[in-house]
Amino acid sequence: MAKLIDCIEGDSSDYEIEYRIHATRRMFQRDINEDDVEFVVRNGEVVERYEQDFSLPSLLLLGESQGKRPLHIVVGIDSLNRRIFIITAYEPDPNKWTNDFSKRLL
């Protein structure tokens, strides 16, 4: 599977991470911290691409928190301004995803 670095222009360290208000609210409700989100952004795998999303192309990333909790992070990519927007973060529902949380169940 691809990593975020494979889907952006340039080096990921050139990109600033910004959190949407929705993301911070959901993270608080779901007990997900910034360190875990940023760990998944740096190390997670791309499981879905939403290239036609408005207003920015976005990706669904899969990774684990540092405590081994599975997480999905949706990020918007603004290559022009070198920004990665955290749109939402959640623990995937095992009833809606394969055992490794990489594919949706039909």
pLDDT tens, residue by residue, 18-49: 999 999 999 999 999 999 999 999 999 999 99
**H-state helical runs in the chain:** 21-30, 34-43
| Region class of 31: left (phi > 0), else alpha (psi between -120 and 50), else beta | left
User: Residue 5: pLDDT band by 50, 70, 90 thresholds?
Assistant: confident
Q: Is residue 15 part of a domain?
A: yes
Indicate which CATH number applies to the domain containing 19: 3.30.2310
Provide the domain count of the chain.
Answer: 1
Look at residues 15, 91, 97 and name the one whose alpha carbon lies nearest to residue 56: 15
SS3 76: strand
Range of the domain at 15: 4-90
| Residue 25 is assigned to a structural domain of this protein | yes
Can you give the pLDDT at residue 69?
Answer: 95
**pLDDT tens readout for residues 49-74:** 998 877 889 999 999 998 999 999 99
